[in-house]
Each structure stands twice: as structure tokens, then as C-alpha cells.
A and B are shown apart, each in its own frame.
Chain A
Amino acid sequence: MRKQVTRFFGFPVLFLSISLLSFWSAASVQGASAKKATNFDGLLDAVVRIDVREATFGAGAKRYVTGVGSGVIMSRDGLVLTNAHVVTRQAEDIWVTLASLEVVRAELVGWDHWTDLALIQLDMEQVTGRRLGFSYASFGDSEKLKPGQVVFAVGTPHGLSRTVSKGIISNSERYFFDSRGIRGYETGFFNNWLQTDAAINPGNSGGPLVDERGRVVGINTRTYLGADNLGFAIPASTAKTVMNSLIERGEVIRSYIGIDPGFLQDLESFYDIDTNQGMLIDSVDPGSPAAMAGLRAGDIVLQINGVKLDGRFPEQIPPIRNYIANHAIGAVLQLEVKRNEDVRKFSVTTERLLSRVGEEWAFDNWGLSVREVSRAYARENQLESDKGVIVIGVQPAFPADKAKLSRGEIISKANSLDVTDIESLKKLYQESENSDESILLETLRNRRVSYKALKP
């Protein structure tokens, strides 16, 4: 229930949709070298176009889609920073067009949908083998940006490679929450955004927002489609940490305790606390560490591990979320909480933050694609357990369709055995390849149980 937010920011926030425009240019071979960009011209040599072919499982079968985005080379050894919605976990082929117009292959190093960032690695054998060259950019300080400061967006809007547009920082600390996420993956919890009026269009995604000296201050990520020049970039401060983590581990590991913060704005008098102190708990996820510890909605968290919190305004919430997330998994947080007149202490043991989107798979012969029920999905939908798989696609006239399976249904049992995850269904799928016996499925939709006969 993020009503307060949507009321203020209730316009449709759309991703820079990935356009299908693509063109290939003649190659002009240069010498293989990587040099640090020290000025704006150098930066232009660090910006790349990214073409992606990725698998999707939405249609009851494994299919492929292609897309175009932007990226910026951030290291001598060819690491390219881009958006997680440009290069997803399901990317199978990545081609990078360097500033020299040469195309090289790349591989995904890691992605972090929570901040919408992904890191890819250029195929350096190709780069050196073909004696190609590029520049690599460095980060500027996004914390020091001021509204009015001139910035440039560089990228591939609508497939138009190396397009530079100019604007200013319109707001250096924009908060918004997007409930749709990246194809269902949660995003935007842990950072505020840089807002700019530099023209940003679909295809700019993943490209850098830079200052006049060509230093990367943000990664262009979103725009309000239909609005004029309302672009949003992930600040370099966030990008830097996430990138380091992706280099080290290929992922960003965050802690989770299961609270949804509200804003204390105008509520201080009701809770009888001083202004600029404390964070309101709006909601506690059922079954989460916070719920286990006894925390309740309406509690005010004054301190965590002795650090005072201030959650008066929406803009202050992402840093607090980040602070909690940065603790080690399994760490015990000491929360000082004000409940009515009392101040109490709670110990909350963190668990790992997981996405609501589970692993996906397609059973082609059945015309069925599924996604695992994740812990977060189960909590959100008040399911009794995180067992089972959700139907995300059914192909017409295939066995799953004939069995009347439909999107959104959860398969909980097959032949009276629990379907705990995709693996258990894969096993059944293999067995059924040499058999024509029907499989009895138990499914759930809005807590309603049905039975379906799947005839392979």
C-alpha cells in the first residue's frame, strides 16, 4: 500500500523501453588500446551501444526477444556498466558496439535489479585480437551535484548510436516508487534518483549522465513517457558500490528484515516524538524476521544498532533501507522502538533479501511456462507456503491449455506429490516423455483449489 507515494508521483513511470531498431556499420580497424577518458571527448569513446538477445518464458515456451540499450565502459579490462533492464539475467547473446563502430561480444558479469544495474564484460580476446581500442570512463561525485548544473546524456536513443543531449540536473534527490518493477522484479528501493531535463528516450537506458568534464555522475534509466524532458538516472554513488559488488561476487547481497517504512511527516505530534527522529513502520511482512521479533505496524524505530534514524520525508527512506540492507546476512540488529508511550528494544536477525520473482522455465512439449513461488511472493500473496510454481504462460492448443491451466494459477501438487520447485516438475516432465499417462495437477488460484488433468 504505497498510496502516499503514488499520489505524489502518480504518473506512469515507464522504463526506457528497449527499441528494436538496429543497424550494423562497416568496421574500421584501429589499434588495440584502452585509455582513460580524461575529458568529454574521451568519455564519448567510452559509451557503447548494447544489443541483446534474451530468453523469455512468458508464452508457454522458450522464446527470444532482442533489444537495444546503452552502456559505458568503466575499466581498462572492458567492464561495461548498463541497466539491469537492458541486460537481464536471461540474456543469451550480448553484442557491444564500441565508439569505433566495431562490434564485439560480451558476457554478463552480474545484475542487480534492485538498483537496475548490470555489469557486462567485453570479450577482450576479440578486442585485442582485432586490435580494437576504447576509452573507459570514471565516476564523478553525484553527491555534490546541484540543481541547475549542466549535464549530458550519452547513449543510443531509438537505436541512434552515440547521441549526446544536453540538460541540467533538475533535482538531485528525487524519490519515487514503482510497484511494477522490471518485468516483475522489484526496483528502486535503495536509491533516490537524479532528475534531468537532458533529452532521454527509449534506448538511452544504461548510458551515462556525465558532467562537463565527462565524468559519469549517473546511469540513465527512466523517463516519463509522454512527458517532456523528465529523465531519471541512478546516481554514481549507488552505481559505484553496486559495480564493486558485482565485480567481487557477481551479485549484490542485501539483508532483509521485513519492514516497510512509512513517512513520519506530520505524524510526529501524534506519536509524541521530536521532529527529524525515528522511522515509522507502515507494514511488517508476515513471517518475516521483524514479525518474528514482535515488531508491529505503527511502531517507530528510533535507532538501529545505536544509529539514529530520521525518516520524516520520502527521500530519506531509500538511505535507511540501504543502511539495513548493508548489514551481513544473519546479523542481529538491535532496534530501539517507540510503541505508544514505551520505548522498547527488539533484536531482529536479518535474512537474505530475495526477489519476489523466482526462477523461470518452459516445458515446451506441454506448452507451459512457470516461475517458482518465492518466499517474498508467498508473503505478498498470503500463501501458506513458498512451495509450488506459478503458471506464467500457456501456449494455445498445447496440453497445458487443454488441461485449462491459465496464467497466475499456482501448481501445488502433481500426481499427489508436492511440487516444491521447478526441479520437481522437470523430473515429471522427463518421465512423461515416454508415456501418455495423464498427470493429475492440483492448482490454487485465490486460495481456490482445482484439479487438472494434463495429458502429455
Chain B
Amino acid sequence: MYKHLSSITLAILIASLSSLGAQDFEAMFQERLKSVVVVEFFVETEEDRWSVDVNGIVVDDDGLIQLQDNALPAWIPVEQLKEFKVFQPGNLDEHDAEYLGQDRVFGWHYVRVLDEELKRSLISVTSYPIAELKTGSALWGIGLAAKGLDFTPYFMRSEVATIQPMPNEIGFCTFDISSPGSVVFDLDGNFAGWGANPLNFDRVFTIEGRRFKGQIAKTDETSTFFVATDLVGSFGNPPESVEVIDWAWSGLLGLGPLDDEVSELMGLRGESAITVSEILENGPADRAGIEDRDIIVSLNGESFKRYIPRHIVVSAFERQLKQLNVGDQVSVGVLRGQERLELELILEEHPTLVRQAERTYFEKLGLTLREFLLLDRVTLNVREGDQNSDGVIVSFVKTNSFAQTAGLASGDLIQEIDGNLISDYSSAVELVSEILADEDRKDFVVLVRRGAETSVLRINLK
């Protein structure tokens, strides 16, 4: 009923706008405020707890909120994100919400409003027509003040300076246009975009006659936005569950862009290309016959666009792969020396992410142990089949704890506990639990690997 009403209001508004010559923004502003919310949650780690406020947009009629990929800290396991709440602009009434997970292609996070009444008072951005933008198009957006100022919304106005593929279409404005994560419209009230990250600006500071160079960025307002026409396909795709990571994976490691001069020198004539540093052994790319130091020049027969800056070609390529499913086959064109090859790559399941890894916190030691993942193996350069190639990762060490006093540090790989080789996570947890259960124990000994070196450390228990 309400929704029906709102779309009528919308029609009237749009009609009135054109007749008013886009002067009366008040009504339009009040209406479109219903498409933006503030999401608040707590991050609760072993030692700390802090709150995060981020802006999000309403993307369906059932209280689905979309947040940007950097809205949640990527390394924090989902179970450490607590108490999701939703606020409306200018209102400190909090409403319960639930975290739904992350979209695999674009990385957007999703939160669902649980309060039925609030759901009904929200308007999805998808209910507005999409604005067609040109250089110079006049835009307005919504700024949101901090919590201490009741998230008060305010009007902002600017024009399109340029639009660039990065690989998302990003609009750059002549001045700040909205708060990051808030909404941008054209003068007719058509949905124009979603406030993106504020830019870093090189600035020179002169303090008492001394010059300092630095970079400066706002945190509350931005001049960039995700262009709505490009966003349309990416609205409202929450994963089936928070735990599901059904990302497809190539097993290509250390991708980088190729410079123009280098590309010329390699005879690529200005083609955009991607270098491959490493191939995961027995991974999908390895099976496809791709080798380290191959230069990727095409995907499914299509060569890559030239982006500004050039390195965007890598994220564009990764984006293309993310859109595919596990088991999909793609044809990868590579340059190997003078030879051009077309190799068939079958995508496989993405290995477990660090934030999904199993972990246990041992309060008495001030130590969190976590599963040793395939991705850790890659980062730490521990090859399977190496002597001592397994272990368990130290993911947290509390300040002045027994673990820290012994010399353990976050990121260490524990390979032996009391002389026992650690072959998997659960046996490590079991061993440590047994040690801690024994009240007579004064200490235990671990063998730790850090970089190319190892060390025997004694951890006191008393």
C-alpha cells in the first residue's frame, strides 16, 4: 500500500520537477532519503572491540541493504562481526539487521533489515529510472553527518567531470557529490550513482615556513561515484549463505600489468597484457598448461582494453574470471617467448580464505591458532613436500601474554609442539588443549618458522 503510494508520489514529483525547472529539491530530497541508510556493527577480536558505521543503499523492497566491498574489514572472520544495526538518516532509532555475506563478482556486502516497519518505509534505488550521464551533467547527492550529529542528511551538488572504466564505470565530479556509500541523482531525480571512495590528493603543506608534501583524503565526502548504468547488473545478489564461497579460481599467482614500452618490445603492438609470476602447482592454471612468466594477452579470444592507469587490466581480468562458475572453461591466450598459445583453463573452487579459516583462542596463552591454508602456503613460500611443510598459523598474540613473552608473533607457522610434528589444525588444537589441561605443566616447547628461519621457543605456563 505504502509502496504504491510512494511510486505515485514519485510520478508526481518527476512531473512537477520538470515544470518547476528543477528548483524545488526539498520534496525530492526527502523522498530519496529513504534509499540510504547507515549500517553499524561491532568488530570483536580477542583483545579489542570497536564499532564501524558505513553508508549503504536500499536495493530491494524487502529491506536488502548493499554495502561497498571495503565496508567490512576483509581479514576479519565473519563470526567476529557482531550486532548489525540499521539507522535512517537524521534518526538515532536503531533497527536490527542481519549480515548476509559478500557478492563474489563485485564484492558488495549485504545486510537485511529485520524490522518489518522499517522495511516498509524504505525505497529501493531500483525503483527510480536510471540517469543517462554526460560530461558536465548536473548532479546532486546526499551527504550524511556522523553519528554524533544524528546522521543528519544534507544536500550536495556537483557536475560530472569525467567517467572512466576502472573496471567499474567511475564518475568523477568537479566537487564532492555525496558521502561515500550514499546516493547520487540527476536534477530530474533519476538514479545516477553510488558514492565511491574519496580520492587521495597530493598536497603541499607549509607549516611555519617549512614545506611538507603529503596526501590528503576526506573520509566523509567524496567526488567519485559508481555510475548507475554500470551498477544495474550488480544489485542485490547476496550469496546463499555467509559461509558459501563459490568463487571460481584460476590458480594464477602474482598477476601484473605490462608497461606500454615493454609490450612494444615484446612485439605486442600496444596490446594490453598481463604477466604471470607464479602458477600454483597442481592448480587449475597448471593443469591448463599455463606456465610462470607466460604473458596473458586474451581471454576467450578477446584482447584486453587499455585502461588508465594501466594496472586496472589486472582487476578487469580477475573480474571476468569471478563472473564464471566453478567448472567453467575459458580459453586463455598467452605469449611464451615468441610463441602464441591458446590454453583451455577449467576454473576450480577457490581455496579457503583466511577469514574463513578455523581458529581457536587460548585465553591462558594469549594466543590464537588458525588453520594453515593453501593461501598461507603460497604467501609463506612453503612448498608441499618440503621438509616440515605443515603446521598451524599463529593468527593473534596478545600483548604481554605468555605467547608474546616466548617470542611468538602473528603470522608465525608453528611446525612442532613438544617435539610432535603438526600435520593439521585439529591435532595442534588438541595438543595445546591437553597441555593446558595438565595443571602440573610449567612450560612447553614449539618449533616456529618465520621466513626462511626457524626457532625453538619455550612457552611458560606459570
CB of B441, distance to nearest CB on chain A (Å):
11
The 5 closest A-B pairs by CB, nearest first: A453-B261, A297-B454, A3-B407, A449-B277, A1-B455
Known pairs A298-B416, A449-B292; A438 contacts B265 (CB<8 A):
yes
Known pairs A404-B259, A448-B256; A286 contacts B265 (CB<8 A):
no
B289: interface (CB < 8 Å) = no
B28: interface (CB < 8 Å) = no
The stretch among A24-32, A104-112, A135-143, A377-385 that forms the contact with chain B is: A377-385
Q: Is the Cβ of B262 less than 8 Å from the Cβ of A283?
A: no
CB of B387, distance to nearest CB on chain A (Å):
7
Chain A residues whose C-beta falls within 8 Å of the C-beta of B458 in the assembled complex: 266-267, 270
Q: Is the Cβ of A3 less than 8 Å from the Cβ of B455?
A: yes
Chain B residues whose C-beta falls within 8 Å of the C-beta of A380 in the assembled complex: 451-452
Q: Is the Cβ of A1 less than 8 Å from the Cβ of B454?
A: yes
A126: interface (CB < 8 Å) = no
Known pairs A297-B454, A447-B278; A382 contacts B261 (CB<8 A):
no
Nearest residue, chain B, Cβ from A437: B265
Chain B residues whose C-beta falls within 8 Å of the C-beta of A416 in the assembled complex: 337
In this complex, the interface size class of chain A, counting residues with CB under 8 Å from chain B, is 35 or more
Which residues from 433 to 456 on chain A have a C-beta closer than 8 Å to any C-beta of chain B?
438, 440, 442, 447-453, 455
A102: interface (CB < 8 Å) = no
**Which of A382, A403, A451 contacts B266 (CB under 8 A)?**
A451
CB of B368, distance to nearest CB on chain A (Å):
19
B419: interface (CB < 8 Å) = yes
Nearest residue, chain A, Cβ from B444: A270
Known pairs A270-B443, A297-B456, A440-B266; A449 contacts B381 (CB<8 A):
no
CB of A339, distance to nearest CB on chain B (Å):
9
Which residues from 274 to 301 on chain B have a C-beta closer than 8 Å to any C-beta of chain A?
275-278, 292-293
Chain A residues whose C-beta falls within 8 Å of the C-beta of B448 in the assembled complex: 1
A419: interface (CB < 8 Å) = no
A388: interface (CB < 8 Å) = no
Known pairs A451-B266, A455-B261; A286 contacts B254 (CB<8 A):
no
Known pairs A7-B407, A453-B264; A1 contacts B450 (CB<8 A):
yes
Number of B interface residues, CB 8 Å? 37
Chain B residues whose C-beta falls within 8 Å of the C-beta of A442 in the assembled complex: 293
Q: Is the Cβ of A453 less than 8 Å from the Cβ of B452?
A: no
Chain B residues whose C-beta falls within 8 Å of the C-beta of A4 in the assembled complex: 407
Nearest residue, chain B, Cβ from A4: B407
Q: Is the Cβ of B452 less than 8 Å from the Cβ of A267?
A: no
Q: How far is it, in angstroms, between the C-alpha of A7 and the C-alpha of B404 when the chains are bound?
A: 11
Q: How far is it, in angstroms, between the C-alpha of A381 and the C-alpha of B419 when the chains are bound?
A: 26
CB contacts between A and B, total, < 8 Å: 96
Known pairs A298-B419, A450-B256; A285 contacts B452 (CB<8 A):
yes
Known pairs A3-B407, A453-B264; A297 contacts B455 (CB<8 A):
yes
Q: How far is it, in angstroms, between the C-alpha of A1 and the C-alpha of B453 when the chains are bound?
A: 6
Chain B residues whose C-beta falls within 8 Å of the C-beta of A133 in the assembled complex: none
CB of A450, distance to nearest CB on chain B (Å):
6
Q: How far is it, in angstroms, between the C-alpha of A283 and the C-alpha of B388 when the chains are bound?
A: 12
Which residues from 254 to 293 on chain A have a C-beta closer than 8 Å to any C-beta of chain B?
260, 262, 266-267, 270, 280, 282-286, 291
B38: interface (CB < 8 Å) = no
Chain A residues whose C-beta falls within 8 Å of the C-beta of B254 in the assembled complex: 447-449
**Which of A270, A296, A404, A453 contacts B387 (CB under 8 A)?**
A296
B258: interface (CB < 8 Å) = yes
Chain B residues whose C-beta falls within 8 Å of the C-beta of A260 in the assembled complex: 453
A340: interface (CB < 8 Å) = yes
What is the 8 Å Cβ interface bit string for chain A, positions 1-14, against chain B (1 contact, 0 not)? 10110010000000
Q: How far is it, in angstroms, between the C-alpha of A98 and the C-alpha of B451 when the chains are bound?
A: 48
CB of B392, distance to nearest CB on chain A (Å):
16
**Which of B265, B293, B453 contacts A283 (CB under 8 A)?**
B453
B138: interface (CB < 8 Å) = no
B445: interface (CB < 8 Å) = yes
CB of B293, distance to nearest CB on chain A (Å):
6
Q: Is the Cβ of B419 less than 8 Å from the Cβ of A340?
A: yes
Chain B residues whose C-beta falls within 8 Å of the C-beta of A438 in the assembled complex: 261, 265
Chain B residues whose C-beta falls within 8 Å of the C-beta of A270 in the assembled complex: 418-419, 443-445, 458
Nearest residue, chain B, Cβ from A380: B452
Chain A residues whose C-beta falls within 8 Å of the C-beta of B160 in the assembled complex: none
Q: How far is it, in angstroms, between the C-alpha of A270 and the C-alpha of B459 when the chains are bound?
A: 12
Chain A residues whose C-beta falls within 8 Å of the C-beta of B277 in the assembled complex: 447-449
Q: Is the Cβ of A283 less than 8 Å from the Cβ of B387?
A: no
**Which of B261, B278, B455 contacts A282 (CB under 8 A)?**
B455
Known pairs A4-B407, A298-B416; A449 contacts B454 (CB<8 A):
no
Given A291-B387, A296-B388, A447-B278; 12 other pairs, CB 8 A cutoff: A1-B455, A3-B457, A260-B453, A267-B456, A280-B456, A283-B455, A285-B452, A298-B416, A379-B452, A380-B451, A382-B381, A448-B277
Nearest residue, chain B, Cβ from A340: B419
Q: How far is it, in angstroms, between the C-alpha of A3 and the C-alpha of B450 when the chains are bound?
A: 11
Nearest residue, chain B, Cβ from A297: B454
Chain A residues whose C-beta falls within 8 Å of the C-beta of B418 in the assembled complex: 270
Q: How far is it, in angstroms, between the C-alpha of A282 and the C-alpha of B453 when the chains are bound?
A: 8
Q: How far is it, in angstroms, between the C-alpha of A298 and the C-alpha of B388 when the chains are bound?
A: 12
Nearest residue, chain B, Cβ from A438: B265
Q: Is the Cβ of A267 less than 8 Å from the Cβ of B381?
A: no
List 26 contacting pairs A-B, 8 Å CB cutoff, sorted by A: A1-B448, A3-B457, A4-B407, A266-B443, A267-B445, A270-B445, A270-B458, A291-B387, A297-B447, A340-B419, A381-B452, A404-B259, A416-B337, A438-B261, A440-B266, A442-B293, A447-B381, A449-B256, A449-B292, A449-B293, A450-B275, A451-B262, A451-B266, A451-B275, A452-B259, A452-B262
What is the 8 Å Cβ interface bit string for chain B, positions 290-315, against chain A (1 contact, 0 not)? 00110000000000000000000000
Chain A residues whose C-beta falls within 8 Å of the C-beta of B453 in the assembled complex: 1, 260, 282-283
Q: How far is it, in angstroms, between the C-alpha of A380 and the C-alpha of B381 when the chains are bound?
A: 12
**Which of A285, A297, A381, A453 contacts B259 (CB under 8 A)?**
A453
Chain A residues whose C-beta falls within 8 Å of the C-beta of B259 in the assembled complex: 404, 451-453
Could you say which of B265, B276, B445 has the most chain A C-beta atoms within 10 Å of its C-beta?
B265
